[in-house]
Each structure stands twice: as C-alpha cells, then as structure tokens.
Chain A
Amino acid sequence: MFSRHVTKDISAYCHGELSNEDSKRFAEHIISCARCRSEFEEIKLGIKLAEQLPQLSAPDHLWRELERLLAKQAETVVASRPTFWTWRVQVTAAAALVLIAGMVGLWIYNSRTPSVRTMKPSWQVKRLDGTPRIGSERISNSGQLAIGEWLETDGSSRAQIAVSSIGNVEIDENTRVRLLETHDTEHRLELARGKMSARIWAPPRLFFVDTPSAVAADLGCAYTLEVDDRGASLLRVTSGWVALQLKDRESMVPAGAACETRPGIGPGTPYFEDSPAAFREALKRVDFDNDAAVRSAALTVMLNEARPRDTLTLWHLLARVNGDDRVRVYDKMAAFVPPPPGVTREGILRLDQQMLETWRHALESMWIGGGGGKMMLKPVADAYWRTKYGLSRRLKEMMPK
C-alpha cells in the first residue's frame, strides 16, 4: 500500500502491455490505493468508449478515382517506354492476378476451417486429469477455449484455465463452464454445473462468474464455487472478498465465510464456516423457507447461537428482515458491539445507509481478523468495501434481463 502510484500504467495494464511482474505490482497497489483505483475506473470507461469506435467503410468510388489518377500517371510513363515493356507489365499483371486469385481462394478456404478459432479471443486450457472436452473435441494436454465454447469434464477429468493474464481457474470433475466474455475491462465465465476454484490477482471487478442463481464478482481473491443440478450454488472464500448478486439482493463474502444461493431467490446471507452448526442450519431456513413463522423461529435460534464474529451475518440480515425481527437483530448486535457515535437505533431500524456503513466499519475488524480464512489488512478490506456500491451498480448493469 506504500508502493508508488501506478496511474501512468493503467492503459498499459488494461491492454496487457505490462510484464507479469509489473502487472502483479499494479494489481497489488491498486487494491489498496483509492486514488489509483479511481483513475483506473475512469480509464476503464475511456477504454470501453474507445472500443466502440467503428471502423468505417471507404466509399466504392475511391478505387475508380484512384485508378483514373494512376492511369494519368501511367500514360506519361508508357509513352516514354518501348513496347516490350508494356507487354512485360501485362504478363506480370496476369501472373499476379492468378496468384492473387489463388491466395484469395486459400483465404476463403482457411476462413471455413476450425483454425480460424484461434483468431478469436480465447483462454488457454491445460488438462489436469482424464480427457476434458472443449465442445466436442477432447483435449490431450492443452487447448484453447474461445468465446461461446463450453469446457466440460466427466467423472474422471479435471482442467485448469488461464484467465487471460489475471489468474487461473481449476475445473473439477463433472463440471460444465463456458467462456462468455474476455476483454480488457471484463472477463466472464458461466458455471452451469459442477465446481471451480478461482485464484485471481487482478484489481476488483474484472472477473465475473455467472451461475443460474447469482453472479459472483471477484474483488481480488481466491474462492471455490459449486453449482448443483437444481442451479443452487455454494460459494466458499479463502482469501479476499467476493460479491454475490441477483437483482437487488447482494451479499459480500469475506475470507473464511461462505454463502449459498437459490434459483429465483439469489444469494442467501453470508456466514462464517466456523460458526455453530445450529446457527448455520437456522440461517438456511431464514434465507430460503417460504413460511414466515418458520423463518421467525429460526431467527430466534440464530440469535441464541450467534457469536460476536457472526455480526457479519446479522449485519446483512438487518436489511432482509422486517418489523420485530429487525429489532431483535439490532438488539443482539448492539449487545456485542454498541453502535459507534452518530449511529442511532432509529437510524439503523429505518436502514439509513450512512449509519449502516459506519457500524459495519466498526464491526469489520472482527470479521477479517479471525477464523480460518487468510487475514486481510484493514485498509485493504476498507478498499473492498469502498467499491461495494460501485460494484452493486455495475452488477445490476450486467445481470441478464
């Protein structure tokens, strides 16, 4: 976080023009430097805009006019040359025409063969076990996954994908993933079923995974994501933060925590994996049960079982429960960590955004300082949270309509 600013390298980073070492230094710096991150966002927008610049078509009449001008030039030349020279030019032109026709034919032939696939943006895939497939082709040692193509593993195969230059993803057995997008400002996979483990060292908000029940947005982290046959998923974060979102429902999941999602509902509430089993079981009912009475009873279990560190879960629940249930959640949290100055009971109960953030800030050291996950420096965690609302907006933009 004390390294020198990297603003002058932003475009070069986005265009993949930096060395691996410089890219890593860039990514590490930008996560903890608000100033560079702000410029990064601006330049990413500039790049996105510049990418819209279309190549124009030259008008058809240009060649005719050019030919006329060339003919004028040639007349003078031809008049001053012996006849055999004209004959030679014509023979050369005829030979060149035959050559060109051949090359054009070759080009058309090539454009219909699969080799052109390598011209499209693609990611390198390495076989780890068995024989994974890209589309219908089995890969022996390595292959290329182009946009729109599926990578599939069976019960005995595994593969590793190099995510551009920003990280890698391991694909477990019985998994199906598709490359949706890869360019300077966004890399996106679809996980239809199975399990993947991602390790990303890029700045926040470059790598996304679409699942049937939520979008996972990387905020500089390592995590595993599983999707079952019903489309429900389980996210487990081992370092950094990951955001899960479906429409307006969003969960921010730190290292050591997990979060489940359900089709049609979206992400549930994040919880620490070392929280009491009864707490986790009750949370499942609070998140996904249709019966309000069952949910309220489950909340009682949760509040009885909660530890101070489980304020991560309670803080997210504040906005997800109503009336008396919200009051009960508030009272439990206040018993663990009293709200800091400027944060009032009334403000929290009416979900005042500023007050919720201030309280979250006071609680955060408890969330990132313990448990099984990798410990994160507080300023880095702050940086992740500062991106939260920008991220939320961006995720909404990207959700399938």
Chain B
Amino acid sequence: MAMAEQLIDGSIIEACQQGDRAAFQLLFETYKDKVFSIAVYSSDGDRALADDVTQQIFLKLFTAIRQFRGDSEFTTWLYRLVVNACLDERRRRKRWLPLGETVTMSNPGEKKPQEKHYARLEVAEAVRAAIGELKPKFRLPILLKYIEGLSYEEIATVMGCSKGTVASRLNRGHSQLAKRLSHLNNPSTWGE
C-alpha cells in the first residue's frame, strides 16, 4: 500500500461520513490518479469521458460513503465502485457508439518525455492501446494488478470472483498482450 494511502484511516473515513469537505479532498487527492487511470484505460483512452467517469465515481463515493460500515477494506469497497462505474459506462457506450468507432489516446497537455525515456514511453503507449483492445474481464484484473497493486485475493473480492478466476484471467490477459505486442520483444524497443 502506498504511503499516501496509509493516511486514509478510520478517522478520515468517519470525517467523510460526517460530510467533512477537507477530509473528502484528502480522500480525492489520495485516489484520484488511480481512479482516473482505470477510467482512461477502460474508456479506450478517451480522457474527456474518463474525466466524467472519475467525477461520477467521486460524487457517488461522497454520497455512498455514509453506507460504508467497515466490513471490508475501504480500498476494496472503493475499487468495486470504480469497476462497476467503468463497466456501466462501457455498457452505456456500447449501446450508442457506432460500430468500428475508435478513439485515439491523446493528451496534448502531457509533458514531453526526455529523450532517453522516449522508447520506453512508446512501449507504454503501445501497451495502453493493446490493453484497450482486451475484453473488460481480462483488462480489469490487469488494471487492478498493475495500477492499483492489488493482490489476487483483493482483485477477487473487488470483482466478485474466485482467486483461481483472477489467476486465469490474468494469464489470458498477459498472453493476449504478448501476442499483440510480440514485435516489441527486442532490446531496442526497451531503450536498452
């Protein structure tokens, strides 16, 4: 667990439950990047859409946090909220997006990488795109593992499935990533 996440203890959650805006801002600052990352990767790189999804998740969190009773870890509860919001958004878009529409990952405001990291960032970009092509059931365990750093047990709790299913989906996800990006399996790609 990251140091910042360790700051979110029972007293902060309690303060949020009592409507404390400062406590909620701390909660937001702690989790915003992780939540936003999952939202971006789950919306095929559409950052505007990810902005909306992230806002909706935190609004919902602010309202629903009064119902959090501490029966499970707060992070598990939060990520379940995130996963459900991303799946809902995907289902909604599936109904409205014309077939074949693709959205490119673009972020003009992002800082330009230093030269020596350029190759690695290109790989990251290719991985982002390949992740976007995975089915949600393979993509979400990967995001929870690599963005959130959850264990298999925690992923299983968030996704409401068994540890074995998590292991199997991660296997399939890794395998599909490797197949789609096999052309990157050479030293020059990694800037070595």
A residues engaging B (CB < 8 A)?
Answer: 7-12, 15, 17, 39, 42-43, 45-47, 49-59, 62-63, 65-67, 69-70, 73-74, 77, 89, 92-93, 96-97, 99-100, 103-104, 107, 110-111, 116, 119, 396-398, 401
> Is B146 touching A10 in the complex (CB atoms < 8 A)?
no
**Chain B 35-58, CB within 8 Å of chain A: the 1/0 string?**
111001100000100010011001
> Is B7 touching A43 in the complex (CB atoms < 8 A)?
no
Known: A12-B167, A42-B178, A46-B176. A99 touches B11 (CB 8 A): yes
Q: In whole angstroms, how far apart are the Cα atoms of A11 and B173 in the complex?
A: 10
Closest Cβ of chain B: how far from A221's Cβ, in Å?
25
> Is A58 touching B33 in the complex (CB atoms < 8 A)?
yes
Partner of B167, one of A8, A62, A103, A107: A8
> Is B33 touching A55 in the complex (CB atoms < 8 A)?
yes
> Is B171 touching A69 in the complex (CB atoms < 8 A)?
no
Closest Cβ of chain B: how far from A52's Cβ, in Å?
5
Q: Can you sample 11 A-B contacts with CB below 8 Å? A: A15-B145, A15-B152, A15-B170, A17-B151, A46-B178, A58-B35, A58-B36, A58-B54, A59-B47, A66-B55, A111-B3
Closest Cβ of chain A: how far from B104's Cβ, in Å?
15
> Is A97 touching B22 in the complex (CB atoms < 8 A)?
yes
> Is A43 touching B124 in the complex (CB atoms < 8 A)?
no
Partner of B174, one of A50, A63, A74: A50
Across-interface contacts of A77 in B (CB, < 8 A): 19
Q: Per DSSP, are chain B's interface residues mostly helix, strand or loop, or mixed?
A: helix
> Considering residues A12, A17, A45, A96, which has the most beta carbons from chain B within 10 angstroms of its beta carbon?
A96
Closest Cβ of chain A: how far from B6's Cβ, in Å?
8
> Is A110 touching B127 in the complex (CB atoms < 8 A)?
no
Closest 7 CB pairs of A and B: A46-B174, A58-B36, A397-B187, A46-B178, A58-B32, A45-B178, A11-B170
> Is A17 touching B7 in the complex (CB atoms < 8 A)?
no
Closest Cβ of chain B: how far from A38's Cβ, in Å?
11
Q: Is B175 an interface residue (CB 8 A)?
A: yes
> Which chain A residue shows the least CB distance to B59?
A69
Q: In whole angstroms, how far apart are the Cα atoms of A97 and B23 in the complex?
A: 7
Partner of A49, one of B18, B130, B145, B151: B130
> Is A70 touching B20 in the complex (CB atoms < 8 A)?
no
> Is A62 touching B21 in the complex (CB atoms < 8 A)?
no
Residues of chain B at interface, number, CB under 8 A: 69
Closest Cβ of chain A: how far from B60's Cβ, in Å?
11
Q: Is B181 an interface residue (CB 8 A)?
A: yes
Across-interface contacts of A56 in B (CB, < 8 A): 33, 36-37, 40
Q: In whole angstroms, how far apart are the Cα atoms of A69 and B145 in the complex?
A: 31
Q: In whole angstroms, how far apart are the Cα atoms of A111 and B55 in the complex?
A: 30
Q: Is B15 an interface residue (CB 8 A)?
A: yes
Across-interface contacts of B185 in A (CB, < 8 A): 45
Q: A58-B36, A59-B47 are in contact. List 11 more A-B contacts (CB 8 A).
A: A10-B174, A12-B170, A15-B152, A42-B175, A45-B177, A46-B173, A50-B145, A53-B147, A63-B29, A73-B63, A397-B192
> Which chain B residue shows the least CB distance to A43?
B174
Q: Is B62 an interface residue (CB 8 A)?
A: yes
> Is A54 touching B3 in the complex (CB atoms < 8 A)?
no
Q: In whole angstroms, how far apart are the Cα atoms of A12 and B156 in the complex?
A: 13
Closest Cβ of chain B: how far from A305's Cβ, in Å?
41
Partner of B123, one of A17, A49, A93: A49
**Chain B 154-192, CB within 8 Å of chain A: the 1/0 string?**
000000000100011011011111110110111100101
Q: In whole angstroms, how far apart are the Cα atoms of A104 and B23 in the complex?
A: 12
B80-127 with Cβ < 8 A to chain A: 109, 120, 123-124, 127
Across-interface contacts of A55 in B (CB, < 8 A): 33-34, 37, 147
> Is B171 touching A11 in the complex (CB atoms < 8 A)?
yes
Q: In whole angstroms, how far apart are the Cα atoms of A57 and B39 in the complex?
A: 11
Across-interface contacts of B11 in A (CB, < 8 A): 99
> Is A59 touching B51 in the complex (CB atoms < 8 A)?
yes
Q: In whole angstroms, how far apart are the Cα atoms of A62 and B24 in the complex?
A: 14
Closest Cβ of chain B: how far from A53's Cβ, in Å?
5
> Is B28 touching A63 in the complex (CB atoms < 8 A)?
yes
Q: In whole angstroms, how far apart are the Cα atoms of A357 and B151 in the complex?
A: 44
Q: In whole angstroms, how far apart are the Cα atoms of A93 and B18 in the complex?
A: 10
